[in-house]
Structure 1
Amino acid sequence: MTEAFPFLKSGHRYRVAMCVEYRGTEYYGWQIQKTGVRTVQAELTKAISKVANEPVDLIVAGRTDAGVHASNQILHFDTASYRKAYGWTSGVNTELPNDISVQWTQAVDIDFHARFSARERAYRYIVYNAPMPSGILRDGMTWERRELSLERMQAAANLLLGEHDFSSFRAANCQAHSPVKDVRELRLVRQGRLIVLQARANGFLYHMVRNIMGVLMAIGRGDRPVEWALEVLEGRDRNRGGITAPAAGLYFVRARYERGDLPEREAGPAILDGFAGLTEV
């Protein structure tokens, strides 16, 4: 981990990247909102600005929705304030609520952009598939009491791989310029009572992963045939797309960049570390 900023010049601003982990249950998503509701961005902006001793603007790799979590969210900001990497990390953490935590800080060149430099993003969605809900992990996963067929869900997920128009899987208020995305992985694994979907793509539409999971769960329950996933995709109509899966099970776990100087962590969340059959993203 870089402990100094060798390109710091007096009077010049420089760029800092951070990796943050957060539990989204108590927040109205990542982005600051005009209504003043509690958001992850607002909490981090306040904390980082205090440590920097100046206002900062944060740019993030992937904006998460209300109730959605992150284990490796990447952001950047520009500042004229000098701090060692550990100073940024520990200093900001002392100013944050206990459901948001900075994991590392890294100096980056001015060409790095947390959002536009990312070449791939990954999410994981966790389902607790059991007759009764979990009293301990309820906010960190979605409960489904009916038995889900992993084989049916994986067969349906395979139909969605590749570059397609995902209009049927985007929320009505999605602001993305194009509904076309390249989905590179939709892998489902089961261990005990947990089922995990790992999704990788060059980008995701608003609610896209939750809408995909809603379709896959309906197929896994046997409410719909496997081929329904392809019918929904080709229909390009959100009204045909079924129920949006709850936010509680969704985690932003990775943004990939074409550079080798950023620290690496397990994709997470920690409960999935060493999860059998779940490949690293």
Structure 2
Amino acid sequence: MAKKRRIMLTVSYDGTNYSGWALQSSTPNTVEGVLNRAIHGLTGEDIAVIGASRTDAGVHAYGNVAVFDTCSTIPGDRFSFALNHILPEDVRVVESMEVAPEFHPRHCDTEKTYEYRVLNTKMPVPIRRLYTYHFSMPLDEEKMQEAAEYLVGEHDFTSFCNVESQAASHVRTIKDITVTRNGDEVIISVTGNGFLYNMVRIIAGTLILVGRGKKEPSEVKRMLESRDRKAAGPTAPPEGLFLIKYKFLDGVPTV
């Protein structure tokens, strides 16, 4: 019997038609489930991929990461090509490689970058409705950036976390937040060492309040310190959120 190997996949997907990343008993329509079935179809093995990040329903990704173990002799860098012939067109493996058997994407130091995209036009643009959150009132991105600075660093983000979160600790480190305008889009880019349930979407919803003039930038500091979900802004819709990339700070051990 061939020796088991661990393969890492970098996965891009349009999350519109999926109930999130994580496998669920109530629906087969998850990104994780689609990957498991595609790998089974390719290798004949019962596969359960291990994902680095569990994105919510409707959230998109340019570079989520997953690993799986296989006895297949397909070269690590060829899995991407083979799987893309099987996967639906809204899920693609953009890179694959063989990694050390002990490598686990959730048990190492990482930086993750998300973007939240707000379509800031008077009227909605139908062809962009699945990839931006439409907000019709003017937004002041400079005030949004001023507010975002209060979130940089290590903080208890209880105020910016869904109350159903089961995380043991709500302390996270945000390394950088930028708010920029690109034409008719306001883009909130957040890089950190980890994110809580709905954290980026709540940050986006809060910064939109500031950009609209409903909150002052300095109020974000008090929101943080209160450690009360009710103190922060609403959870912005999922379609504007993209997982952009993972950075493994110690590198990825290969074989």
The one-character-per-residue Cα deviations of 1:91-134 (angstroms, maximum 9, x if unpaired) are 21122111111111101111211222242111111111110111
What does residue range 96-245 of structure 1 map to in structure 2 within 5 Å?
96-245=87-236
Asked whether 1:53 is paired with 2:39, we answer no
- Corresponding letter in the other structure for 2:4: R
TM-score after normalising by structure 1: 0.87
**2:251 aligned with 1:259:** yes
* TM-fit CA distance, 1:195: 1.1
Task: Using the TM superposition, give the Cα deviation of residue 260 of structure 1 relative to its aligned residue in structure 2, in angstroms.
Answer: 6.2
Give the conservation status (yes or no) of the 8 Å contact 1:210–1:247: yes
Distance 1:227 1:70, change over 3 A: same
Alignment correspondent of 1:94: 85
- Distance in 2 between the 1:34 and 1:106 partners? 29
Secondary structure, aligned partner of 1:139: coil
SS at match of 2:217: coil
Give the RMSD, CA atoms, in angstroms. 1.4
Contact 2:120 2:135 in 1 (8 A): yes
Comparing 167-176 and 86-95, the one that deviates more = 86-95
Partner of 2:239: 248
Moved over 6 A (4+): none
Correspondence 1:27 to 2:21: no
Q: What is the alpha-carbon distance in structure 2 between the residues aligned to residue 25 and residue 82 of structure 1? A: 34
2:18 equivalent to 1:18: no
Change (3 A) 1:60 1:160: same
Change (3 A) 1:23 1:86: same
> Is the contact made by 1:121 and 1:201 (CA closer than 8 Å) also made in structure 2?
yes
Question: What is the CA-CA distance between 1:177 and the residue it aligns to?
Answer: 1.4
Q: Does the Cα contact within 8 Å between 1:120 and 1:201 map onto a contact in 2?
A: yes
Which deviates more, 208-217 or 94-103? 94-103
Identity of aligned residues (%): 36
**TM-score, normalisation: structure 2:** 0.95
Gap runs ≥5 in structure 1: 1-9, 263-281
